[in-house]
Amino acid sequence: MSPHAGRLAAASAVSLLVLVATAPAAAGQDSASVVGGERLGRPAVQVAPLAGAPALPTALSGRSWLVADAGTGEVLAAQNAHLPLPPASTLKMLFADTVMTKFDRADVHQVTQAELADLGVGSSLVGVKENLPYRVEDLWRGVFLSSGNDAVHVLAHMNGGIARTVAEMQARANTLQARDTKVVSPDGYDMDGQVSSAYDLTLFARAGLRIPDFRSYCSTRTAHFPGGLDKVTGQRTSFDIANTDRLLGKYPGLIGVKNGYTTNAGATFTGAAERDGRTLLVTVMHPEAQGKVYDEAASLLDWGFAAAGKVQPVGQLVDDTAPVTAPDAPDAPGTPAGTAPAAGARPHAAQDEGHDLGPAAWTAAALGAALVLWAAGRTAARRRRGAVAQATDTATATAKPAAPAAPSTQGSTGTGRRRLARRTRALVHAARTRR
């Protein structure tokens, strides 16, 4: 390639880089924007009713709440959606979404004394005993039905320890773009600095429900749980446990998901219900009284189903940014199909995910490619003219009939195209090395 063509190719590559670097971001990708939409950052009630829309329930005392369509991700209404508050046991949804797919439900684990140490004072327990074996599925039932912190700690130790599990939960929150969440303990027990939000808890529920076992456990109303050894027979005993979710089995179509209560958090609840092929998610945090969390969640679900097609969304549940599974491999457990990969979570609406280059960047790319191809064509043309001139001089000097001309690189054979392609690749490579 001539020096001029090389300089031209390098210049086009530099122009491309400058245009890509300075191209305006796609709408909604402003790093200062609120995750899920600007309206979700406002403190007052956010709702956009259309003609015929039902009125929101009037007796809502929760400091923070949100109701959304699980399928579309549209947030139908919210108040203080991103307000950081202690999450209590609703944080167990994130724990389950992070750890559940690592162990087969039929695996058996021998519980040790160390795994039951350091449980918080007043923790909710299912009754796991040390030095006895438990199936993984029994431990998960203890987590979801009895909100057992002892079962959480055993599973966390199976996962490599409390510290490792907390770190993985925080990383998982990041891929879910749950920016309001700070994980300190895997069980949701009151700890300094541990917070989440109605928006984030709803993200955790939506992600967890994609895991079949998660969905099965959170919808289980009663189960048998392994007990200790009978002192007379030496046989293993069992006892019944019941789901502490007061709406399960009472609210029509309720799927789950998780309730919680601590002194600092008050009552928290995230639920999912299905009706006429539509699934809604609701989260209520810290109402005036503990029992009101269920009443307020139920009233918001009623409103959400009645408001179908009669309200405009005020925000969006953003998508999971975990890398998508390779097309020729089965989906990883718990990974939603079609999730767009990303280097890190970004605070913007889900519909803007996956656009790494804006329109200006794509225009620059096309322009750069055209300039590179034009330079290669100019070089090839000069070489052809030189070859023709040399052949003419030789024919004149020898006074012999000229040999048949060599096929043009622009002929019907693929030779010219392959040479041009090789030159193009070389030009692009040279431009890249000059960055």
Q: Any residues with CB less than 8 A from the CB of 103 and at least 6 apart, and which?
A: 136, 155, 158
Q: In this structure, are residues 267 and 57 in contact, taking their beta carbons and an 8 Å threshold?
A: no
C-beta of residue 362 within 8 angstroms of C-beta of residue 339:
no
Within 10 Å of residue 118's Cβ, how many Cβ atoms?
9
Residues with catalytic roles:
89, 92, 147
Residue type, 337: A
Type of residue at 227: G
Query: Which sign, positive or negative, has the C-alpha torsion 257, 260, 265, 267?
Result: positive
Among the listed residues 282, 292, 265, 242, the one whose alpha carbon sits nearest the alpha carbon of residue 187: 265
Alpha carbon distances (Å) from 35 to 87, 176, 178, 286: 19, 11, 8, 22
Written as one letter, the residue type at 62 is G
- For helices 415-433 and 359-398, the axis angle rounded to 10 degrees is 130
CA–CA distance, 412 with 420 (Å, rounded to integer)? 14
Q: How far apart are CA 106 and CA 57, in angstroms?
A: 44
Measured from the Cβ of residue 228, the count of other Cβ atoms closer than 10 Å reads 13
